[in-house]
Structure 1
């Protein structure tokens, strides 16, 4: 058995009143032959994720955010639609359970997004740097 070091989850399809919904179970470990193992709460043992008939597949699990840190003067530089560059303030940094920090900016509608995630991202500026 190999411990699960990356977060994956098994997805299971359920139907009720003619509508489908899904539940998930975290992958706890991998068998020696590579099968995902999840906890079977009824038996109190690990079981192959695909051994249930409603198994729908595996997917990389979202890593929970455990903290938020203010942007504190950090900025991002992006390329605009016209080819110029623009600087935007980092509103906050999220810290996830695996220790990764992600800088957030707000779009024109007020929704936050990863400052480094778009194709127009150029670089980040520390607070002591001015673009």
Structure 2
């Protein structure tokens, strides 16, 4: 087993089939498979439902601040769209901030990775701020 030191993460499709979540890769096994923490120890990343690939975050997150009510609209290559609530902002060592969302299982990730299109906004955004390629957020349906 070789420890993973370079910021690699396993990507997973959320149970809704759209959102992408990530888990840090802890190590690589003797066959070169990525290992992540499972409920009973290390598991190969590919053995967990929804596995979709591996990515690398070159700049580490050094702090986090609350999401402040921000939302992200995402769309995939097939034209499916969805909205996630940003639960926190990950502040990276270089000073940039990345949005962090979570799924019902508590797996967190950057919603802007592996999507065709995304838009981050605050629900208090005025109509004058719209028009950047996305329509205004739709009213909730019952």
The bucket for the TM-score relative to the shorter chain is 0.3 to 0.5
Higher strand share: 1
Greater C-alpha Rg: 1
User: What is the TM-score of this pair, normalised by structure 2?
Assistant: 0.43
